[in-house]
A and B are shown apart, each in its own frame.
Chain A
């Protein structure tokens, strides 16, 4: 069983297999399941992600009314104009937003690694798909690669906003996506690790400060940022750019930053954007309560 990213890359290199294959073999071993069973379970998750993106692109609205409809705006803009940031990037952004809008509307999603950060992995997958034209198996492998790196973070740091801030949720999700893009694009296991490290480095320190305690503002847009960060970092790693700080040390830094974060910035809705005048006003309106005094 691999305990960190260095061991994960080492196993892949020594046995000359992909990161996804290391994860698949470990899962078969730990759960005593066949390859077919493990693939079938991941196929189910992939289908849930696909449906959530479709649903979000049709347009949904959350009960609070804070989020919904932005994925539709982005797709319309993509079709009518030339996006400055590039079509693939903005397509990923729209699909990440679509997923999180469905989540906010209490729709069905697949947590990757959490519900609040569920947009980064599928958002990038369904955008990169249109460029790389992967087989269904390669799409499923994308999720195993993302899962392998998420597994390392979850066991060595945290994937919970309440424990480690948004860096632990969207930060981890974006970095997992970057590693998976690299494998799908034909990069090496080490390049996956570099893409992961570069992404997470750029998400360090991100606090969890949801307005009214809802997984809506700023969570939906942070998934947009996470998806774009993942694609840019994947391109950097594929170009041969490496991370000066190794992957596992970046994860260690993320863990320690999370521990040092005040509880006001760890999913308690007591600080950051939640405590802005507008954040408080929205909270009071949604719950029909008098405004909290700061």
Chain B
């Protein structure tokens, strides 16, 4: 079931005008920001399908940038997000892409700064709900509605066990888990949806576990 809560239907409380093109888009931007872990210095945003055709009318561009600034869907500052980003020196560009995508409301968000970058693909599935379908070339299914940790690791035996053992030790329950890899023995990505936000000290411990390359988290 795609929708689990009545508040996915009666809600969210949001700044208009479109739940899929404004609120859902803001959530895609915010997921990127959360995963990146800090405010990016630049953003390159590619829009597909209905997003590409109507983004100016719906404020999809304004909403994604609002999300990158860590605004929630009902944040009154949303309308001025692009000016705010400009003032902060964030370089933002938008590209209308002709490529066909599986979902009509698809955005590819590339963000970064001097330290690093991140690329994700998000879809807005209606009523303000969004999903992340790709991260740095890995396919995944992340709702962004639960706290989650994403772990880049080397595809070696014991890598998954070392992570789940640390979570078990701190009594963190795993709600859903997904592992994908580029090739046997190469880089892999673990997506772990959990019931409560993961504290920094647990994150540090995970970082030191064997075969772990990079960590990020989504906070509820």
Contacts and interface: CB of A to CB of B under 8 A. Distances in A.
Given A106-B59, A154-B9, A159-B9, A216 B50 contact: no
B16 A45 contact: no
B16 A163 contact: no
B147 to A, nearest CB: 14
Interface residues of A, number: 60
A216 B54 CA distance: 13
B10 A42 contact: yes
Interface in A226-283: 263, 266-270
Contact of A148 (B6, B79, B126): B6
A41 to B, nearest CB: 6
B105 A115 contact: no
A31 B20 contact: no
B118 interface: no
A213 B54 contact: yes
Interface string B55-67: 1111100000000
A155 interface: yes
Given A108-B74, A160-B126, A267-B50, A215 B18 contact: yes
| Chain A contact residues, majority secondary structure | helix
A114 B125 CA distance: 11
Given A111-B128, A154-B127, A163-B104, A147 B10 contact: yes
A108 B6 contact: no
B4 interface: yes
A215 B55 CA distance: 11
Given A147-B6, A210-B54, A160 B17 contact: no
Given A110-B13, A144-B6, A148-B6, A268 B20 contact: no
Nearest to A106: B16
A127 interface: no
B54 A269 contact: yes
Contacts of A116: 17-19
A231 B49 CA distance: 35
B95 interface: no
A83 interface: no
A147 B9 contact: yes
A158 interface: yes
Given A106-B79, A267-B50, A113 B9 contact: yes
B13 A3 contact: no
- Residue among B11, B12, B15, B59 with the highest chain A CB neighbour number at 10 A: B11
Contact of A268 (B5, B50, B79): B50
A189 interface: no
Interface string A71-86: 0000000000000000
B181 to A, nearest CB: 31
A206 interface: no
Contact of B16 (A41, A115, A162): A115
19 contacts: A31-B5, A41-B7, A42-B6, A42-B7, A45-B10, A45-B11, A107-B15, A113-B19, A113-B127, A114-B128, A115-B17, A147-B6, A147-B10, A158-B126, A160-B20, A160-B127, A162-B49, A213-B58, A267-B104
Given A102-B16, A109-B13, A215-B17, 11 more contacts: A27-B6, A42-B10, A45-B7, A111-B127, A114-B126, A151-B3, A154-B3, A210-B54, A210-B57, A215-B58, A263-B49
Interface of A: 1, 3, 23, 26-27, 30-31, 41-42, 44-45, 48, 102-116, 118, 121, 143-144, 146-148, 150-151, 154-155, 158-163, 168, 176, 210, 212-216, 263, 266-270, 286-287
